Structure 1
Amino acid sequence: MKKIYLFFLIFIVYSEFQGQNPACTDADSNLIYAYSNVKDSYESNNIQHLKYYADKSLKSFGDAKINLKECGCDAAFELAYNAMELIEKVEKAPTYEDGRYFVKKAKEITQNSITELNKCTIPKNTESVATATERVGNDLDALQQEKEKLEQQRLALKLKEEEILKKLDAQKSKELQLQKEMLIKEHKAALNLNISTCNKVLKTYGSTSELPSYDKNDTDLLSENVEAIKAYYLNITKDINMTYLEKLNLIKIN
């Protein structure tokens, strides 16, 4: 009987948790994306990247403030407001260390804001558990009810933590994919610039031979890591330069 009770209790409490204010759900997503960018800013090794990711987080903080206000979670709102104020100072920071100080503080505050929002959106009072108990007609005593209420809150927090981690992983994967696409684009442009320069030199010395432009799709490289992509284009560059030298050696100046 206890197992049946627990099953329905988990189902009902979790259903109530899932049916929370949409503004709270949106605020949660906003804060997660803001935190992801603030974390990237903190992990940056130069001031340009630090400021880039800090600036990128501002829109998410702005959206979070609007949704947190509607959600009614004042504690999370105040923390998000404070974090955003710190991030706004990064742009004018004269040094990497100054900017990183603001980012570090904002990162900690954003984590606390997410925690406070979780507290707001998870059923906290005895009424939720008592209602669930009424529905399943169970006669467990008050102490057992309190114990099981706390267990449901723990499970809900665990589910929320897993959801946050999944969203952060998805955001990271998206950022990495974009980074790879940009890296491939830059290397292909550099290759073709090198080829164009080599062809101009060959033409200057009267050679009718020329190197073909590099127009491969290279989308398969997106499954590789950044180091492998760089190594691939380095080898292509070496091959092109070797071919170029061979063509130069064939030129005869009369």
Structure 2
Amino acid sequence: MGKAIQVQGLRKSFKNTEVLKGVDFEVERGEIFALLGSNGAGKTTIVRILSTLLRQDGGTASVNGFDVMSNPRKVRQAISLTGQFAAVDEMLTGRENLIMIARLRHLEQPRQAAEDLLRRFGLTDAADRKPSAYSGGMRRRLDIALSLVGRPQIIFLDEPTTGLDPEARMEVWKIVRELAAGGTTVFLTTQYLEEAEQLADKISILHEGRIIAGGTLAELKKRFPAAKVEYVEKQPTLEEIFLAITGNKEAI
């Protein structure tokens, strides 16, 4: 089946600013892959390229075995995208939002698909209310549910917990784990280091337009100086690893 995502030498500039300077990484099928980086590092630019919303200036990128530039239609059939802010229609109820997307995806039973997702995401009781009456966590659950209409093989979650309170964030984490357990490949961008530490099978750190480190959490910990031994061994957190690798040691 090959890799879910393969990126080699990816480059992108906006006017005179080079945002991506030759990015390389791979994502295995069925895993949760976290792309870490500060604001402006280029995370969303990568997501937009991989989801065929933006053309790269150089390098190659393939999703589900299809090149994003030469075969964008095939890529779009395999993916779904949830951005930083919930993209729901405020004039429709939760149920109507789901039915609309199911019809746009030409599902044979759009109402049944909507009911299944409402049940799965714990939104049945709120199905006939408009999103303006939802809490932040409920809106995000609806947004992710909309992304799963048609059962995409790969889902991009671009900073999905931005602006959510801790309880709502935990709700999203649970959904992400369930997606991966069901075989969906999850590509997650985040600036919350704890989020990547809790969820990701693999992590890549994007800094100044390049991937400067990647691997499992255990592999990244090996790059950190030996643990300090006081009364017990103190293992580095992902935040300490991130700051050390990006050169911001004074912040540790």
- Normalised to the residue count of structure 1, the TM-score between the two structures is 0.27
Q: Larger helix proportion, structure 1 or 2?
A: 1
Which has the higher relative contact order, 1 or 2, with Cα contacts under 8 A spaced 6 or more apart?
2
- Normalised to the residue count of structure 2, the TM-score between the two structures is 0.27
The structure number with the bigger radius of gyration is: 1
Q: Larger strand proportion, structure 1 or 2?
A: 2
